[in-house]
Amino acid sequence: MRAINYFSNLAIPFTILIIIMYGIIEKNKVFDTFLEGAKEGIEVVVKIFPTLIGLFVAIGLLRDSGILDFLVSLISPITNMLHIPSEIMPLSILRPISR
């Protein structure tokens, strides 16, 4: 167990070191490349942010309105026969919507 903790504590610094060494060997500007990647990441977040907000609001409305509980109660006879816990049914109903 100690070995796992030791290796997991070294994983991120070791990964960073490997990336820097690879950049030096390939003669890339590591920090500039990092900044470009961070800029692209922020652009992606800005593009998908409205969609995420819409999904969170829709899911919140489904939960708060009681529709989700109603759907779970409708399919509970089937899920009980299949021994599927009712606690995971809201997640399984909402999962296809959130993809």
Q: What is the pLDDT of residue 97?
A: 65
What pTM, to 2 d.p., does this model score?
0.53
Query: What integer is the mean pLDDT of 23-52?
Result: 91
Confidence of residue 36 (pLDDT cuts 50, 70, 90): very high
- Cβ neighbours of 27 (radius 10 Å): 6
Q: What is the pLDDT of residue 3?
A: 79
Query: What integer is the mean pLDDT of 66-82?
Result: 88
Q: What is the pLDDT of residue 84?
A: 87
